[in-house]
C-alpha cells in the first residue's frame, strides 16, 4: 500500500517507524516518483518486495556529510547519475555549458557534479569504507567497460573502477537489483555476487571467469584505436540476453567481468513494474523552487513498451534496453491512463503512448522470443529481414481503447515512429488512423540524412523509403481532408559525411522547400557504433576506414548547409560550397543555394536605400503634421 513519497530525511524514517533503511538510493536527479524516472522504478520495486528504501537526491558532493543524512543502509547504497548521462546533461555537443537542467528543481544548473556516478561513489566510499555500493542507470550502463569519453577526449576505464563501487547493475536493472537485494539479505558478501546476469564485477583471479571471452586489455584499447574498435564490436555482438557471452577486460592485476544481459521482462513483469504505487509527480519539497521541469514531458504520457530493434548506429539502446521489445498489457496501460484522467491538470489529452519507438509493440520476429536477436545482422537495416513481422494491429487496438476512455479527447503519438516499419506493414490502417486521430498538425520522423554513404553509417534505410513514406503520408492526409506535415529530424557531421554529402542534403531540402528550425550535430556519447567510428575512424562492423568531421569549423559548415537560407550562415555556406567545388550552387538560378557576394552586397544596398527613403518619407510626413498643427493654432489666434 502506498504510504506517500519514500523517505528523504530522518524525520520521514521516524514517521514510518524505520530505524535503519535497507537501501539508500543516491541520485543525480531530483526525486520524482514517476515510472519514467529510473530511481523511482528501482526504489518502488524494492519496496514492493519488502525492502525499505530512502532517497538522497542531488547531494552536495562538496560536503561529505551530505551522504549521511539517512544513515548507513543495512544492505547497500544504490547510485545513479539520473535519467541522462551527467555530461550530456551538462554540455552541448560544442562542449558549452547548458543553461538549464530539466531534472533539477526550477531547472537550475549545477546541482550535480560532472561524472556524477564516479563522484557520488567516491563520496560514499570516503565515509563508509565497507558498505556495498551498487551503481546503475544510463551513466553506469554505458560506461561499464573501457569507453571513449568525448568530453575529455580519451579512453576512460570502466566506471566500476573509477567510482570505487562493488557492482554495476546495467541495463534496465529490475531483475538484477532484486537478485542482488535477496543475496545481500541472505548474508552473501557483495564480492561473491559474480553470478547475476545484468551485472559487472571485478576480480583479481582471472581463472574465476575462465569461461569469459577475453577482450583486449585497457592498456591496448587506450593506445590502439583498431584494438578499441575490435573490442567494441565484440561487446556489441554480446548484448543479447540469449546469446551474449561473459566478457573480461584486464586492468593489470584487476579484471572487470561483464555477465550476460538479464533476460527481458515478461508482460506480467512489465505490468508489475508500471503498476507500482507511484505518486506520479515530484517531491513536494520542490514546490517553492517551481517544481521539476522534466515532469511536464511525461506527466500525461504512457510507456507501452521498451527496447528497440531499429539498430540506429548513434543510439545506445542496444547496450541499455536491448533489441527485444517488451510490452505492457492493455489492462495495465488503460488502468494508468484512467488514473491520469482524474489528475487536476488533465485537460483530456494523452500526450504520448510509446517507448523508444512508439510503433514497436512486439519482437521483430517469433525467434527473438526464445533465441534472441541475431548478433550479426539487423532487423531493418540495410533492408528488412525476411523474418520480420510488421504488424500494428495490437498497437491500434490499444490506441482505440485509450481514445474511448471517459474524459479523453485525444491521444497523440509523440515519441517517434519508424516509418520503414510502417512501410513494411501491408495494411495501411495504421497510417490512416495515425493521420486521422493521433497527429497534431505535425508528425516528427527521423530520416537523419539523405545521402546513401551517410545513411549506411547511420544504420538508416535508403532515402527512397523516406520519400515513399512522405508521399503516402501526404496522400493519406489529402484523403482525410487534413493539412498535416512531416517534420524530419536531420543530423549533421555524422561519421561518413563529408562536405559533398552535406551539400547533397542541402540540395534535397531546397527541392523539398523545407528549412529545419533545429539541426542536431552528431554527439559522440558512450557506447554507440557512431561514437566508435568518431574516435577510431573505423567502422567496427567492417573495420573499414570512415571519414570523420571532427574539426569544429567543418562541423559548423556542415550544420550551416542544412540551414543555408539563414542569413547568419551565409559565410559558412559560401566557404563550404567553394571547398566542395560546388560554385554552381552560388548564383541566381532557382537551383542555387545562395547568391554571389557582390549581388548580396547590391541587394543589401538597395534594401538600405529603400529603408532610408521610407524613413525620409515618415520624417517629411511628421514635419507636415507639425506645420499643420501650428497653422491651425495661428488661424485660431
Q: What is the pLDDT of residues 113-164, one digit of tens each?
A: 999 999 999 999 999 999 999 999 999 999 999 999 999 999 999 999 999 9
Instruction: Say whether pLDDT at 557 is over 60.
Output: yes
Residues 407 and 556 in one domain: no
Instruction: Say whether pLDDT at 553 is over 90.
Output: yes
Instruction: Say whether pLDDT at 358 is over 90.
Output: yes
615, 616, 618, 619 alpha-carbon torsion, rounded to 10°:
120
Average pLDDT, stretch 80-92? 97
End of a domain among 388, 413, 440? 440
End of a domain among 258, 281, 316? 258
Interatomic CA distance for residues 130 and 182, integer angstroms:
19
- pLDDT tens digits along 179-214: 999 999 999 999 999 999 999 999 999 988 999 999
- pLDDT tens digits along 293-314: 999 999 999 999 999 999 999 9
Is 249 within the bounds of a domain? yes
Q: For position 618, what pLDDT does the model report?
A: 73
Give the HSE-up count for residue 26: Cα atoms under 13 Å, Cβ half-sphere.
31
Instruction: Say whether pLDDT at 11 is over 50.
Output: yes
603 compared with 545, residue with greater pLDDT: 545
Compute the C-alpha angle 40/45/48, nearest 5°: 125
Residues 366 and 510 in one domain: no
CB of 261 closer than 8 Å to CB of 241: yes
Average pLDDT, stretch 400-413? 97
Give the HSE-up count for residue 189: Cα atoms under 13 Å, Cβ half-sphere.
3
CB of 181 closer than 8 Å to CB of 190: no
Residues 409 and 509 in one domain: no
Residues 109 and 126 in one domain: yes
Residues 6+ apart with CB under 8 A from 305: 325, 326, 327, 328, 354, 355, 356, 360, 361
Interatomic CA distance for residues 170 and 144, integer angstroms:
8
Is 86 within the bounds of a domain? yes
What is the reported pTM? 0.91
Interatomic CA distance for residues 458 and 311, integer angstroms:
9
Is 279 within the bounds of a domain? no
Average pLDDT over all residues of the chain: 94
Residues 399 and 432 in one domain: yes
Residues 67 and 130 in one domain: yes
Give how far the C-alpha of residue 320 lies from the chain's centroid of Cα atoms, to the nearest Å. 11
CATH number of the domain within which 130 lies: 3.40.50.280
Is 276 within the bounds of a domain? no
Ramachandran assignment for 484, one of left (phi > 0), alpha (psi -120 to 50 degrees), beta (any other): beta
**Containing domain of residue 22, as a range?**
10-258
Band of residue 624 on the pLDDT scale cut at 50, 70, 90: confident
CATH number of the domain within which 585 lies: 3.30.750.200
CATH number of the domain within which 380 lies: 3.30.750.210
Is 612 within the bounds of a domain? no
Residues 494 and 558 in one domain: yes
Residues 238 and 183 in one domain: yes
Average pLDDT, stretch 578-592? 95
Interatomic CA distance for residues 569 and 511, integer angstroms:
19
Percentage with pLDDT > 70 across the chain: 95
Average pLDDT, stretch 368-393? 93
- pLDDT tens digits along 42-69: 999 999 999 999 999 999 999 999 999 9
Residue 400: CB atoms within 10 A of its CB come to 12
Q: For position 515, what pLDDT does the model report?
A: 87
Residues 179 and 64 in one domain: yes
- pLDDT tens digits along 245-293: 999 999 999 999 999 999 999 999 999 999 999 999 999 999 999 999 9
Residues 469 and 485 in one domain: yes
Instruction: Say whether pLDDT at 637 is over 90.
Output: no
Q: For position 1, what pLDDT does the model report?
A: 40
Which three cell numbers, joined as nine digits, stand for 470? 512522405
Is 556 within the bounds of a domain? yes
Q: For position 622, what pLDDT does the model report?
A: 66
Tell me if residue 629 falls in helix, strand or coil: helix
Instruction: Say whether pLDDT at 625 is over 70.
Output: no
Average pLDDT, stretch 427-434? 96
Which three cell numbers, joined as nine digits, stand for 51? 525492502
Q: What residues are paired with 25 via a beta bridge?
A: 55, 78
| Closest to 552 (Cα-Cα) out of 153, 156, 224, 223 | 153
What's the alpha-carbon Rg for the chain, to the nearest Å? 28
Which three cell numbers, joined as nine digits, stand for 578? 567553394
DSSP string, 304-327: -EE------TT--HHHHT-SS-EE
Is 623 within the bounds of a domain? no
Residues 6+ apart with CB under 8 A from 246: 209, 211, 212, 213, 257, 258, 259, 260
End of a domain among 394, 420, 440? 440
Residues 194 and 231 in one domain: yes
Residues 325 and 407 in one domain: yes
Q: Cα–Cα distances in Å, from 340 out to 204, 299, 331, 349?
A: 51, 8, 14, 10
CB of 162 closer than 8 Å to CB of 107: no
| Closest to 157 (Cα-Cα) out of 202, 105, 218, 208 | 218
Q: Cα–Cα distances in Å, from 91 out to 88, 147, 156, 314?
A: 5, 18, 18, 18
Number of domains forming the structure of the chain: 3
Is 461 within the bounds of a domain? yes
Angle between helices 570-579 and 552-562 (to 10 degrees): 110
Ramachandran assignment for 4, one of left (phi > 0), alpha (psi -120 to 50 degrees), beta (any other): left
Amino acid at each position: 500500500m502506498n504510504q506517500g513519497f519514500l523517505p528523504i530525511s530522518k524525520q520521514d524514517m521516524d514517521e514510518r517507524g524505520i530505524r535503519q533503511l535497507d537501501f539508500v538510493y543516491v541520485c543525480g536527479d531530483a526525486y520524482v516518483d514517476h515510472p519514467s524516472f529510473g530511481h523511482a522504478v528501482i526504489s518502488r520495486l524494492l519496496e514492493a518486495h519488502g525492502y525499505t528504501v530512502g532517497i538522497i537526491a542531488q547531494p552536495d558532493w562538496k560536503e561529505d556529510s551530505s551522504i549521511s543524512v539517512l544513515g548507513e543502509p543495512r544492505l547497500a547504497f544504490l547510485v545513479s547519475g539520473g535519467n541522462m548521462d551527467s555530461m550530456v546533461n551538462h554540455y552541448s555537443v560544442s562542449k558549452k555549458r547548458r543553461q538549464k537542467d530539466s531534472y533539477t528543481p526550477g531547472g537550475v544548473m549545477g546541482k550535480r557534479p560532472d561524472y556524477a556516478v564516479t563522484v557520488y561513489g567516491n563520496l560514499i566510499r570516503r565515509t563508509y569504507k565497507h558498505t556495498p555500493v551498487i551503481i546503475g542507470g544510463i551513466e553506469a550502463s554505458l560506461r561499464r567497460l573501457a569507453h571513449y569519453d568525448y568530453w575529455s577526449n580519451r579512453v576512460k576505464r570502466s566506471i566500476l573502477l573509477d567510482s570505487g563501487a562493488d557492482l554495476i547493475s546495467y541495463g534496465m536493472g529490475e531483475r538484477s537489483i532484486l537478485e542482488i537485494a535477496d543475496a545481500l539479505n541472505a548474508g552473501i558478501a557483495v564480492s561473491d555476487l559474480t553470478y547475476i546476469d545484468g551485472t559487472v564485477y571485478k576480480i583479481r583471479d582471472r581463472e574465476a571467469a575462465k569461461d569469459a571471452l577475453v577482450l583486449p586489455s585497457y592498456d591496448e584499447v587506450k593506445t590502439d584505436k583498431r584494438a578499441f574498435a575490435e573490442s567494441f564490436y565484440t561487446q556489441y555482438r554480446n548484448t543479447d540476453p540469449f546469446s551474449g557471452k561473459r566478457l573480461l577486460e584486464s586492468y593489470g592485476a584487476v579484471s572487470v567481468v561483464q555477465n550476460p544481459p538479464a533476460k527481458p521482462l515478461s508482460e506480467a513483469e512489465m505490468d508489475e513494474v508500471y503498476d507500482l504505487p507511484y505518486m506520479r509527480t515530484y517531491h513536494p519539497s520542490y514546490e517553492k523552487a517551481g517544481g521539476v521541469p522534466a515532469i511536464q514531458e511525461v506527466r500525461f504520457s504512457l510507456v507501452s513498451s521498451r527496447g528497440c530493434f531499429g539498430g540506429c548506429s548513434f543510439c545506445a539502446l542496444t547496450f541499455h534496453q536491448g533489441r527485444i521489445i517488451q510490452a505492457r498489457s492493455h489492462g495495465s496501460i488503460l488502468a494508468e491512463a484512467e488514473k491520469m484522467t482524474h489528475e487536476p491538470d488533465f485537460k483530456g489529452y494523452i500526450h504520448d503512448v510509446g517507448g523508444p519507438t512508439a510503433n514497436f509493440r512486439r519482437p521483430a520476429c517469433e525467434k527473438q522470443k526464445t533465441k534472441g536477436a541475431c548478433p550479426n545482422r539487423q532487423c531493418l537495416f540495410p533492408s528488412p529481414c525476411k523474418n520480420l513481422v510488421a504488424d500494428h494491429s495490437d498497437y491500434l487496438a490499444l490506441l482505440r481503447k485509450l481514445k474511448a476512455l471517459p474524459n479523453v479527447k485525444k491521444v497523440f503519438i509523440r515519441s517517434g515512429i519508424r516509418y520503414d516499419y510502417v512501410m513494411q506493414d501491408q495494411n495501411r490502417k495504421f497510417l490512416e488512423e495515425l493521420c486521422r486521430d493521433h497527429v497534431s498538425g505535425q508528425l516528427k520522423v527521423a530520416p537523419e540524412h539523405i545521402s546513401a554513404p551517410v545513411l549506411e553509417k547511420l544504420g538508416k534505410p535508403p532515402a527512397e523509403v523516406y520519400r515513399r513514406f512522405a508521399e503516402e503520408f501526404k496522400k493519406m492526409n489529402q484523403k482525410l481532408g487534413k493539412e498535416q506535415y512531416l517534420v524530419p529530424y536531420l543530423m549533421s557531421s555524422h561519421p561518413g559525411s563529408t562536405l559533398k554529402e552535406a551539400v547533397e542534403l542541402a540540395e534535397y531540402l531546397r527541392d523539398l522547400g523545407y528549412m529545419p528550425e533545429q539541426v542536431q550535430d552528431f554527439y559522440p556519447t558512450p557506447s554507440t557504433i557512431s561514437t566508435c567510428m568518431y574516435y577510431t575512424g573505423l567502422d567496427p562492423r567492417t573495420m573499414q576506414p570512415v571519414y570523420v568531421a571532427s574539426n569544429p569549423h567543418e562541423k559548423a559548415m556542415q550544420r550551416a548547409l542544412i540551414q543555408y537560407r539563414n542569413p547568419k550562415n551565409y559565410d559558412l555556406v559560401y566557404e563550404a560550397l567553394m571547398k566542395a567545388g560546388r560554385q554552381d550552387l552560388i548564383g541566381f538560378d532557382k537551383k542555387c543555394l545562395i547568391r554571389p557576394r557582390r549581388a548580396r552586397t547590391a541587394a543589401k544596398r538597395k534594401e538600405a536605400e529603400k529603408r532610408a527613403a521610407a524613413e525620409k518619407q515618415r520624417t517629411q510626413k511628421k514635419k507636415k503634421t507639425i506645420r499643420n498643427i501650428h497653422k491651425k493654432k495661428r488661424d485660431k489666434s
